[in-house]
Amino acid sequence: MVLDSVILSRMLTSTTLAFHIIFATIGVGVPVMISIAEFMGIKRNDPHYLLLARRWARGFTITVAVGVVTGTAIGLQLSLLWPSFMQVAGQVIALPLFMETFAFFFEAIFLGIYLYTWDRFKNKWIHWLLTIPVMIGSSASALFITTVNAFMNTPQGFELKDGKAIEIDPIAAMLNPATPTKVFHVLTTAYLTSALILAAITAFAILRKKGGDYHKKALRLTMVSALIFAFATAIAGDLSAKFLAEYQPEKLAAAEWHFETEENADLIVFGTLDENNEVHNEIRLPGFLSFLAGSSFDTEVIGLNEFPEDERPPLWVHYLFDLMVSIGFYSIFIAAAYILFWKWKKRNEWNKPLLWGIVASGPLAMLAIEFGWIYAEVGRQPWILRGYMKVAEAATKADGVGLTFALFVGLYVLLGILCVVVLIKMFKNRPAEAELEQRFPKKAS
Amino acid sequence: MSLEIVGITVLWIFLYGYLIVASIDFGAGFFAFYGRIKGKEHTLNVLISRYLSPVWEVTNVFFVFFFVGLVGFFPDAAYYYGTALLLPGSIAIILLAIRGSFYAFGNYGSKDNIVYLFLYGATGLLIPASLSTALTISEGGFLEEQGDKVVFLARELFTSPYSWSVVVLSIVSVLFISATFLTYYANRAGDMDSREELRKFSLFWSPPTILASLLVFVSLREHNPEHFTSAIDIWWMFALSLVCFLGASLFIYRRKHHGLAFTLVMLQFFFAFFGYGASHLPYILKPFITIETGVTNPTMGMALVIVFIAGLLLLIPSLYLLMRLFLFDADYVKGNK
């Protein structure tokens, strides 16, 4: 592999995005959890939930800050690293990009207000109402930016003539075939991942013997939310597969090592591939790929052999796809198991293996987000604009991409470490019980 | 009004908005660090943090808005600026990233960390300098097209008197705008210690602001005579700017009408900035992009304008609410809420 501008630009873009989506996912999902907790707190007049909302919100500010600055970075890097792409596609996708900044603006204003008005309104519901514009803002910005990514997968709403976009229809470009499933999948997984991360932190605290009523309520709340979001994620994932089968068959085929077009196609789980593209050591579910693609075992699934070799995505995305799906199923399993243990009175829902399983689910969910995005992005290689422009034509011709890459990696390492250090410090010195006593002295006693 | 004029006006308004809110923010970082060094943090820093905490994220959005809008209305700008500014642009992003996240780390996490505060203060002066380079480049003479490559002539930039005069102006203006705003804010808070401290800053940075502006004019005449002539044609804009500046300085000197003084500072920069922008036209980036050649497809342009108006209908009441709660609420400013 030669480290030319194209490779380096891809490396830098993927590093920035891989780092940014951690914070972006939290940024979309955690406001929803904060809102639910505060709602329960006011409704039940329970200081535990109110404190939960406060503490989540406090940690959230740190992740928002990193999310904002890395989001700014990727926003500018689009033009810095892919100037030719932005010159062409900028004409077509400027609208959702513009709308995303409005949504972001809206969120920023109300988040600022929310964080600094905890005790300011006599009517507690007014403060809770502020979470609604924050949630709308964060989810809407995810929605708009996802339409941009969807457009890169299934471009429409323009014609390309002599390297210039003409006959532009901005709305059609936004509402391209990939948009509905992508947006649905992005939102549900962000909510799921955030719920699981908060659950994982809580379960860890309980395991460390720090858990009182506060932590137990937090775990129940997050696990119920997680189960609901996990089911929604499964539906979104299924719809996404059906979308791929119809509009981007090469991506699905690469994920499933599906070479020959056929009906009753098998679903291949894990396994290895030799140099002749023969699959070994796999778990083979007969006919299930057809079922996944079209809800019937007779569905014809297009194979990779239909595509010229230089337009096929790399085959290693199979592993990422499988890992993502496995983690998705694990989330349903762990959330359902916890709720069963809780409702089934004879069982102890606080047993160690179950709690450790929940601790694992948080980081695993975040890994699934990463795997899913890498699969989605690498799965459309070699295209930057599927069918229109290849990645190699779009990269910058400027020198210095290598140096830029090194600088940004340094930045992300620094931000990543400090973010964790600051977050741990923030909560370690102020246990929930002490804060509860101090903030709600009468009720807590 | 034609689409390109609407587009550039929208962008210029956002850049102006960023200029004001970011200057307050950047300068505040510097003053906060200064306050810590001089052991005055209990007056200065509490005040600064009370203002900045709810609004710092909003400041950042103005900037994002500007560059997203620029690429939207003038996609060619993405190509030329994007290719040319890879390194300087990346350094500016990294500085912004350090500043934004360290603000949060310092403010919500480790309150007493001097390193965080230093980085926050230092980047506050480096960022305006690095961002102002983009404006300098737009004057022409620092980019060259070689075949299908756009090359940034860094050496030309570093040896140009014009570019240095812009850097000086940007730093000095940041300190001046910030000091006048914080003087007003301290006065509202009834925090007389901070007000006196900040008043000194305002007065200290006031003459250099005007000197630096004159320096920019003189060096612009050498660098881009055409632009200089157009600027002279709308001399009244710059004259108004000067009048506002004198009024503001006078009020601050006499410890009177601090709110009006800051409004005059805003007007001072409004006239200067729009005068600069108007005389810069028709070029966006000389000589590669003019507003006519660079403008986006009319359908997209129209869509952007519609969204822009709809967005403003949403944003203006929200911003008003934000200001009502944190800027004009006397109890909050005084620290009672």
Which residues of A54-181 form beta strands (DSSP E)? 159-161, 164-166
Contact A114, A35 (CB under 8 A): no
* B105·A418 Cβ contact <8 A: yes
Tokens of A352: 């160690």
Average confidence (pLDDT) over B257-278: 83
Q: How far apart are CA B65 and CA B62, in angstroms?
A: 5
Length of chain A equals: 445
Residue B112's pLDDT band (cuts 50, 70, 90):
low
B294 in contact with chain A, both atoms CB, cutoff 8 A: no
Greater model confidence, A103 or B222: A103
Greater model confidence, A194 or A251: A194
Residue B149's pLDDT band (cuts 50, 70, 90):
confident
> pLDDT exceeding 90 applies to what percent of chain B?
0
Contacts of residue B58 in chain A, CB cutoff 8 Å?
A: 105, 108-109, 112
Angle among Cα A129, A130, A133 to the nearest 5 degrees reads 105
Angle among Cα A296, A297, A303 to the nearest 5 degrees reads 105
pLDDT of residue A15 exceeding 50: yes
pLDDT value at residue A106: 86
Q: How far apart are CA B136 and CA B128, in angstroms?
A: 12
Task: Please give the model's pTM, rounded to 2 decimal places.
Answer: 0.88
pLDDT value at residue A444: 42
Angle among Cα B98, B209, B160 to the nearest 5 degrees reads 70
Contacts of residue A105 in chain B, CB cutoff 8 Å?
A: 58, 61, 65, 311, 315
Among candidates B18, B38, B320, which has minimal Cα distance to B197? B38
Mutate to test the interface with B, among A56, A104, A109 (most CBs of B within 10 A): A109
* Mean pLDDT rounded to a whole number for chain A: 87
Residue B111's pLDDT band (cuts 50, 70, 90):
low
Residue A189's pLDDT band (cuts 50, 70, 90):
very high
Helix axis angle, B192-223 to B41-73, nearest 10°: 40
pLDDT of residue B247 exceeding 80: yes
Average confidence (pLDDT) over A403-425: 91
Average confidence (pLDDT) over A380-404: 78
* B86·A113 Cβ contact <8 A: no
* B71·A108 Cβ contact <8 A: no
Residue A34's pLDDT band (cuts 50, 70, 90):
very high
Length of chain B equals: 337
Closest CA in chain A for residue B79 = A83
Of these ranges, A2-6, A87-91, A403-407, the one predicted with the greatest mean pLDDT is A403-407
Nearest to B55 among A87, A88, A112 (CB): A112
* A69·B91 Cβ contact <8 A: no
DSSP label of B146: E
* A64·B104 Cβ contact <8 A: yes
Alpha helices in chain B (DSSP H): 3-37, 41-73, 75-84, 86-104, 114-137, 154-158, 161-189, 192-223, 225-233, 235-253, 258-280, 291-294, 298-326, 330-333
**Count of C-beta atoms within a 10 Å radius of residue B15:** 21
B312 in contact with chain A, both atoms CB, cutoff 8 A: no
* A101·B61 Cβ contact <8 A: yes
* B318·A106 Cβ contact <8 A: yes
* B315·A66 Cβ contact <8 A: no
Closest CA in chain B for residue A411 = B94
Amino acid of residue B289: I
pLDDT value at residue B38: 77
Nearest to B79 among A87, A165, A418 (CB): A87
Nearest to A80 among B89, B94, B314 (CB): B89
B90 in contact with chain A, both atoms CB, cutoff 8 A: yes
B315 in contact with chain A, both atoms CB, cutoff 8 A: yes
Q: ipTM of the predicted structure? A: 0.83
Closest CA in chain A for residue B327 = A113
Of these ranges, A322-331, B71-80, B137-146, B166-175, the one predicted with the greatest mean pLDDT is A322-331
> pLDDT exceeding 70 applies to what percent of chain A?
98
Nearest to B109 among A90, A111, A422 (CB): A422
pLDDT value at residue A210: 65
Query: A6 vs A384, A388, A393, A400, B79, CA distance in Å?
Result: 12, 17, 9, 12, 16
B103 in contact with chain A, both atoms CB, cutoff 8 A: yes
Closest CA in chain B for residue A99 = B307
Residue A442's pLDDT band (cuts 50, 70, 90):
low
DSSP label of A305: G
Nearest to A72 among B60, B83, B110 (CB): B60
Give me the residues paired with residue A262 across strands. A301
- Nearest Cα of chain B lies from the Cα of A211 at a distance, in angstroms, of 23
Contacts of residue B67 in chain A, CB cutoff 8 Å?
A: 75-76, 79
pLDDT tens, position by position, A55-78? 999 889 889 889 988 998 998 888
Greater model confidence, A421 or B215: A421
Contact A51, A433 (CB under 8 A): no
pLDDT tens, position by position, B273-303? 888 887 877 777 777 777 777 677 788 888 8
Residue B116's pLDDT band (cuts 50, 70, 90):
confident
φ/ψ of A277, rounded to 5, equals 60, 30
- Nearest Cα of chain A lies from the Cα of B245 at a distance, in angstroms, of 31
Average confidence (pLDDT) over A317-327: 92
pLDDT value at residue A30: 95
pLDDT tens, position by position, A210-257? 667 888 899 999 999 999 999 999 999 989 988 988 888 888 888 888
Tokens of B334: 């005084």
Q: How far apart are CA A335 and CA B285, in angstroms?
A: 56
pLDDT value at residue B42: 65
> pLDDT exceeding 90 applies to what percent of chain A?
39
Contacts of residue A58 in chain B, CB cutoff 8 Å?
A: 108
* B314·A77 Cβ contact <8 A: no
Residue A445's pLDDT band (cuts 50, 70, 90):
very low
pLDDT tens, position by position, B60-77? 788 888 888 888 888 888
Of these ranges, A152-161, A405-414, B49-58, the one predicted with the greatest mean pLDDT is A405-414
Average confidence (pLDDT) over B117-132: 82
Among candidates A15, A37, A370, which has minimal Cα distance to A217? A37
Average confidence (pLDDT) over B103-107: 77
Burial of B118 (0-12, 13-18, 19+ CB in 10 A): middle
